[in-house]
Chains A and B, each alone.
Chain A
């Protein structure tokens, strides 16, 4: 029996090691090498290119970098389409994601050189700024995905989300019953605590992890150390607070894990619009 369990564990460990190769390490970092090569070539070309009268998006080298950059942006944004079709092999989604990350980073070099370091309050710089924000949020997302799931898993303590909610509901039911004998003022505090939706917290509270105005904490503060008759309610409120803390930390970590997508995805679409305006305007006022 024990042997079978060990075999099982070993099998899973092996399976995890062989199967789970991070997209960052995919293909011995093939795309990192490609991206570094691309960035270095762009810098070398920038230094060597004879452009007139100064480096500028409108020089021949500027157009070259601009075309490359625009192509990259369109291709990078296609990940949203590509990821919905999972295929194995050379052009697997993992390879695609790996390329998405590294080529996306190389875009910082390519697009910055394309600007020739000329910025202003115009649609051209808007497109550049959106692109930088998209890339920055992507980098954040990569770091978040690498670090936060462990914290999220630790916080779960082998409970599912459903169990967390049910645990809170179970405490609430007992609290409701236990609070029957207590006085009006105290009962109001318990009602307020029970009435507060744990998921009613806004984005700011979730992102900062500071949940102000917690009525469970207020009730606990008011009741603790008071009438010993309230002892059971206080104990349950403590349980409730502990359970809430787990739920809130989960929401906090989830928010940190997910927030970049609210920047990355809408800004990518806006970037495509700004990029279109940038290119069309340049040729319109040719």
Chain B
């Protein structure tokens, strides 16, 4: 057994010099000492560093001292090499390759190499993910710049340089990218301003001002005259006082500014109704500050709200209607005689008559409320009862029949009625059964009054033509009735909507079935409303109801005064 030691040196001009010698024996010692079979003059190599022993075709490498060696790049102190596969031993600046020669001998090829330190350090960085990704700093700075530009610089710049323009609901927005600033969708009433932020946010860093709201809502009125409104406001609880101090430090207007109650960007749909506490702040203890107020204290519909006060005429001498609390069980004067109970009976003559009238004319069964009461087109209230439409099917004003055609008096036209009835007497020729002698015998008329005069004279009695429903206005014998009043609204500060209560029976609130007199006020009291309606925070109530459900803050007249829910109808 022998080893071929092949040393390859490289000259200064790069030429390879190969020296070859043979070492007999099975063992080879490699080291710095000159007497070794393989002598490597390098201080990093020990005097006797590695012993190579050939053991049955394989080479056993063993470190002689405590320093190891690198075989195929791996540090070790003991290893086996198959010369068929080859192996590379690195010692100091020398590389020794073990190979099997074609003739079966084992060759050790020795080369001295210079370390490529810089190159290696660069390669080692390749293990890190950073070697294949862009740097974190460039990424961060790029992202930072993009966000600041798109979401800050562009909107601010275009807001500051926008052209001055009059407020206009239909104008498109002039500020770029400010949609990215929107904190939430606007309510349906302001939906048209969705992309026109600058319509409300006029000045940078200045909170939305009342005057901005008033450019569109110029017809809105103050809730109460000053200084009464300010006087009515109670002292703020300390928590609210602190909040207001902070809010003022940040330039928020108020208290009492539009935006206190009307908060926006709360999402699409209806604007959130104003919370009960905004009203209760003043109205909860109003009498403590406004000692002359006619209003009762109210802070919660379920717990603290005065009984309703209806606007009505209580007797015939009253010139103007007055507001009366339902607690006082007021009687109503409306100039009519009308017992509801009789008309709603299921068994009496009225019911029979309605049944006989038949379905063709809209009856056919005992009367119910809808036979006489017609809702308004919006369903909120009821039209006044109309004699011709609602009563005359039964309360006929027919007074004559001529050849199968009925003649009818016209309701409300007193003088014409008188004329019609008198002319009835003039036309009728009645055979009295007695003949008088002479040429005028056939033209004789009795001079004690015909049926027309009879009807006229009885008209104002309780069984008479007019008096059955109307109250006479003059002395007996005169044909005159008291004016009839049919109020369309009893609650002038609250808004009630019949449409929303359609699923209820009329009689569950209006006790018409037991009312024998038109003087009965058939309005339900607050206790009845509270069966379903309690205050805003009453979780167990069927209908938690805030002030805004029935009341409107801004006093306007006409339908615009109603809460939006009703005003929209």
Contacts and interface: CB of A to CB of B under 8 A. Distances in A.
Contact of B88 (A174, A198, A269): A174
Interface string A128-140: 0000000000000
A251 B88 CA distance: 25
Interface stretch (A29-37, A214-222, A256-264): A256-264
Interface stretch (B66-74, B226-234, B408-416, B522-530): B66-74
Interface in A240-286: 243, 247, 250-251, 254-255, 258-259, 261-262, 265-270, 272-274, 276-277, 280-286
Contacts of A165: 73, 120, 123-124
B179 interface: yes
Contact of A171 (B72, B128, B156): B72
Contact of A273 (B84, B88, B126, B148): B148
Contacts of B72: 167, 170-171, 174, 239
Contacts, number: 189
A76 to B, nearest CB: 15
Given A262-B133, A274-B151, A285-B197, A161 B124 contact: yes
B463 interface: no
A53 interface: yes
Contacts of A178: 86
Contacts of B131: 199
Contacts of A255: 129
Given A120-B182, A164-B73, A167-B74, A284 B128 contact: no
B86 A174 contact: yes
Contacts of B126: 197-199, 251
A166 B113 CA distance: 13
Given A54-B266, A201-B132, A206-B129, A166 B180 contact: no
- Among A123, A265, A285, residue most surrounded by chain B Cβ atoms (within 10 Å): A285
Contact of B136 (A121, A167, A239, A266): A266
B313 to A, nearest CB: 42
B388 interface: no
A122 B179 contact: yes
B266 A56 contact: yes
Contacts of B208: 286
Interface of B: 70, 72-75, 82, 84-88, 90, 95, 97, 99, 120, 123-124, 126-133, 136, 139-141, 143-144, 147-148, 151-152, 155-156, 159, 178-185, 197, 201, 204-208, 243, 246, 250-252, 263, 265-267, 272, 275
B73 A177 contact: no
Contacts of A258: 128-130
A46 to B, nearest CB: 16
A199 B120 CA distance: 13
A5 to B, nearest CB: 14
Given A53-B272, A201-B132, A231-B84, A265 B140 contact: yes
A269 B141 CA distance: 8
A169 B144 contact: no
Contact of A199 (B97, B127, B140, B144): B127
11 contacts: A52-B263, A53-B275, A123-B181, A170-B90, A171-B73, A174-B86, A236-B85, A255-B129, A269-B144, A273-B148, A282-B183
A239 B72 CA distance: 10
3 tightest Cβ-Cβ pairs between the two chains A and B: A167-B73, A199-B126, A269-B140
Nearest to B264: A58
A276 B123 CA distance: 41
A265 B250 CA distance: 33
A206 to B, nearest CB: 6
A160 to B, nearest CB: 9
A207 B132 CA distance: 11
A286 B141 CA distance: 29
Interface size class, chain A: 35 or more
- Among B70, B123, B272, residue most surrounded by chain A Cβ atoms (within 10 Å): B123
B152 A280 contact: yes
B152 A276 contact: yes
Contacts of B180: 121-123, 126, 281
B136 A202 contact: no
A89 B528 CA distance: 72
B363 to A, nearest CB: 50
Contact of A281 (B124, B129, B152, B184): B152
A159 to B, nearest CB: 6
B107 to A, nearest CB: 11
A49 to B, nearest CB: 10
A123 B151 contact: yes
Given A118-B184, A258-B128, A270-B147, A285 B275 contact: no
Contact of A261 (B136, B141, B250): B136
Contacts of B129: 203, 206-207, 251, 254-255, 258-259, 262
A277 B148 contact: yes
Nearest to A257: B129
B186 to A, nearest CB: 12
Contact of A235 (B85, B88, B183): B85
A198 B286 CA distance: 85
Contacts of B207: 286
A282 B250 CA distance: 12
A168 interface: yes
A238 B355 CA distance: 108
B140 A177 contact: no
B184 A266 contact: no
Given A239-B85, A284-B205, 4 more contacts: A166-B73, A235-B84, A236-B85, A270-B147
B86 A273 contact: no
A231 B151 CA distance: 65
A100 interface: no
A254 B128 contact: yes
A267 to B, nearest CB: 7
A281 B181 contact: yes
Interface string A176-207: 01100000000000000000011101110011
